[in-house]
Amino acid sequence: MRTQPPLWMRRPSRFAGLSRSHARWMLALMTLLVLASWQALWLDYGAAAGEGPRGAGDLALYDGIVAAMRGGGTYYEVAADQLRVLDYPLRPFLTFRLPTLAVVQTALPPLMVPILMLALALLTGFVWLARLMGDALARPVPLVAAATLLAAGLVAFVQWPLWPFHEFWAAPLVALSLAVRRPGLWVSAAAIGLSAALIRETAALYLVVMAAIAWIEGDRPEATGWIAALGVLGVALACHAWAASHVTGPLDAQSPGWTGLHGPGLFARAVVQSSALTILPLVIGAPLVALAAFGWAGWADPTGTRVAATIAAYAVAMSLFGRLDAADWALMATPLLLVGLVFLPDVLRDLFAAAMDTRRVRVQRITR
């Protein structure tokens, strides 16, 4: 099939020129994602015992840890005391956050912490807008749309009272890592990604995605670099487990585990609640999350592949293992996810054009 000139993008979408059958399969997948997102409407936060949003409690926990460390306490003793006071589980060791963020926040003047948080979110937004302007979008209207969608995804990360939350630092770092990574230029991206994982260990999933894609593409040096970052994180987590074991005992509460199986609606709902989509009814916001994720898959660029794979990885992980009180996992994909909507005009045009293609090759046999 002959491809058409792009509408908003600099180059045709990944789906331009697909065969009719493949285009119909992709449209079916998109429809399935939209339908699955509506599962968010039936989620019951009271369905699982001991589960439910604990944002205020978590904020008090992390704020209390930093305040106690500024008063002279050591991280693991202070964290254990705070967890017990707030009736949180202390086992396994992952119930303790890695000490990286708390140590840095303790060392900084209190006013500098929210300023640094705001600066990180703004830097991520500007770097991504420059990246989209240079590589993806060619016209003023889609660039304005992309800037608006970036702001809609980053709005939660400029709320300075939320500075104690680890995800509000790790997620922009993951997004910034994706922005600075280019073919052959991955060292800075790996270092930033490792920094995110040392703040919040769930960013390790991003490192895995990047290592896997580099390996599949045959770039062994880059794959090795991302694997090395995972190795550094593994050593840090081993030390973290050893330190946590010295302040906990067999009588401390145990975490209920990670067998949520709440489905893709949990991811869609969490993204809606942590972005500007929260102003929309969930029945509209949830499918927009699905469409945005699908839109990223349409950007025919290595970065588009990596962003789409990262979003998919967190969506699947949250669907299978996330508890109802673990909606913070979705924050790792929130800063960039909504930008995928800017690719939809080209994606939908190319898919429908291919799916509706009815041209046939006529073979006429002439006998003399």
* Structural domain count, the chain: 1
Report whether pLDDT(287) > 80: yes
pLDDT tens digits for 228-285? 999 999 999 999 999 999 999 888 888 876 667 788 999 999 999 999 999 999 999 9
Distance CA 96, CA 201 (A): 11
The predicted pLDDT at position 309 comes to: 97
With a CB cutoff of 8 Å and minimum separation 6, the contacts of 162 are 59, 156, 168
- Residue whose C-alpha is closest to residue 89's, from 298, 241, 256: 256
Q: Has residue 62 been placed in a domain?
A: no
Q: Has residue 19 been placed in a domain?
A: no
What mean pLDDT is reported for the chain?
Answer: 89
Q: Has residue 251 been placed in a domain?
A: yes
Residue with tokens 């509408």: 7
Q: Which domain holds residue 342?
A: 110-355
User: Rounded to whole angstroms, what are the CA distances from 179 to 199, 271, 328, 368?
Assistant: 19, 20, 22, 65
Q: Has residue 209 been placed in a domain?
A: yes
Q: Has residue 10 been placed in a domain?
A: no
Q: Has residue 284 been placed in a domain?
A: yes
The predicted pLDDT at position 241 comes to: 95
Q: Has residue 26 been placed in a domain?
A: no
Q: pTM of the prediction?
A: 0.91
Q: Has residue 361 been placed in a domain?
A: no
